[in-house]
Amino acid sequence: MAITTSPQNALAGQGLNPKGTIHWNLISPMLVQEAIARHEGTLADMGPFVAITAPHTGRSPNDKFVVKEPSTAGDVDWGKVNQPISEEHFELLLAEVRAYLDALDDVFVQDLFCGADPRHRLSVRYVTPNAWHAHFVRNMFIRPAADELASFAPNFTVLHAPEFHATPEKHGTRSGTFIVLHLAKRMILIGGTRYAGELKKAMFTVMNYLMPKQGVLSMHCSANIGPKGDTALFFGLSGTGKTTLSADPERGLIGDDEHGWSDEGVFNYEGGCYAKVINLSPEQEPDIYATTQMFGTILENVVLDPATRKVRFEEQTITENTRASYPLHYIRNHVPSGRGGHPKNIVFLTADAFGVLPPIARLTREQAMYYFMSGYTAKVAGTERGVTEPQATFSSCFGAVFLVWHASKYAEMLGQLIDEHGSRVWLVNTGWSGGPYGVGSRMKLAYTRAMVRALLDDALEGIPFSPDPIFGLSIPAKVPNVPSEVLDPRRTWGEGAAYDAQAKKLAEMFRKNFEKFGAVAPAIVAAGPKG
């Protein structure tokens, strides 16, 4: 018997006519039942669903393509991130993906919103052969109310065929794996990988294209809001503390990853969270840990104890990139609307393994644009074979792999919004102090929390600031509950000359990286390091 609330021809708008059962907008318990019955995964202790996506346990950025066609070709920053693929190759691939889905015994459909602001949200229809992938997108995006579903009209489609592999010679792909975005047709094809993160990040890439066309800055950041209604944004690459520092029990969580900033304020793109859970503990991350003990959460590529089915969070035999997907309302202090006002504070987080950036600094408008475009953090020695000293990592706008326009477009929008709303911008270094990795020590989390709390609570108002001689950033003379000697990175080093040499080395890395942007406003270039 078909499990469907819509006629079989309801997918005609997506060019589909499945011969099997259409499972239409099933709720999460039903999707879990289907996933278990279909042997797509298993249940862990306390009820979360566990899926293994090997051999792909992370995104495949080299397999992502954007269709190059006349109406959008002039907008896209073509290159390694946005690789072009022809319309002819797309149409060949689309026909085969449709035929593949039509021939299956079951397909699962989820109609969801991307964007908490109704003025800017997309109505997205996901079609997938797997119940657990349908459950994943239902967790991650905004679930329409019953009356909204009754009149749901998709304006974007994602066709998902994880077991279907492309033929590079025929379809113009690099391998059998493909993530292909057709911005003009408002369609995404994903195949050759079971990794669920592709379903989420492909739509983020789409929003990074469409939102700037509507005057909305699209951002890879977390956002929260204080008891007085003050919104804060936290940008940062993996390992910088973005999730930890934005998950504040005294502030409401708007979202943990993807947001837009419109003329009315900040809004979440998503209705869920996709948290990294390697080495997760109830002591360090109590709210996130609690979600991993809930039915409805999806755990990706975690290892279970065979006797108890409890998660071994420290285990990384499958991957270090273990993940939990859960609805936003699983976090106690979430903001139900997914929206906040214009940000009062914007925090750029970096984990500087060179040990030379200040632990907290205030940025000018031009510095904000410079460091936003730079998107800096550093890998520590020993994280990869052959890495014996810190390595600088630059990811434009703290999310280079998801940008569609040139990075300067997003930076210019940020500068305009800072001007319009008086937002304060800060750089917070959660990395090393007293020397580079292997010599100094990681900044104490208690100190970083105190610094973030101080900037959010206006506790730095009236305190004198002095410029860093090499990076030009303004460093406060004191911060409540933080030793004053910690604030000046040079003072924490045993030898000032050694600090100067290391700081100049990093400054040169910044300058060299910035050259890739080509012609940028001189005022922004001048806001970079001076040493």
> Which residue among the candidates 111, 257, 287, 352 is catalytic per the annotation?
257
> Which residue among the candidates 243, 396, 408, 423 is catalytic per the annotation?
243
> Which residue among the candidates 238, 337, 466, 484 is catalytic per the annotation?
238
8 A C-beta contact, residue 125 and residue 156? yes
Tell me 334's DSSP state: B
> Which residue among the candidates 133, 194, 200, 323 is catalytic per the annotation?
323
Query: Which conformational region is residue 502 in: left (phi greater than 0), alpha (psi within -120 to 50 degrees), or beta?
Result: alpha
> Which residue among the candidates 200, 242, 344, 362 is catalytic per the annotation?
242
Residue 56 among the catalytic residues: no
Cα three-residue angle 282-284-287, rounded to 5 degrees: 55
- Report the sign of the C-alpha dihedral through residues 349, 350, 351, 352, in that order: negative
Residue 120 among the catalytic residues: no
Pairing state of beta strands 83-85 and 106-114? Answer: unpaired
8 A C-beta contact, residue 189 and residue 178? yes
Roughly what angle, to the nearest 10 degrees, separates helices 28-37 and 131-140?
Answer: 150
Give DSSP secondary structure letters for 274-332: EEE-TT--TTT-HHHHHHTTSTT-EEES--B-TTT--B-TT--SS-S--EEEEEGGGST
Residue 220 among the catalytic residues: yes
Element (H, E) at 362: strand 360-363
What is residue 10's three-state secondary structure? helix
Cα three-residue angle 4-270-16, rounded to 5 degrees: 35
Residue 323 among the catalytic residues: yes
> Which residue among the candidates 23, 56, 59, 334 is catalytic per the annotation?
59
> For the CA atoms of 173, 178, 179, 182, what is the dihedral angle to 10 degrees?
50
> Which residue among the candidates 220, 334, 342, 406 is catalytic per the annotation?
220
> Which residue among the candidates 201, 259, 339, 342 is catalytic per the annotation?
201
Residue 243 among the catalytic residues: yes
Residue 449 among the catalytic residues: no
Residue 319 among the catalytic residues: no
Residue 186 among the catalytic residues: no
Please name the residues in contact with 270: beta carbons below 8 A apart, sequence gap of 6 or more: 114, 140, 141, 142, 200, 255, 257, 258, 328, 338
* Residues noted as catalytic: 59, 201, 220, 238, 242-243, 257, 323
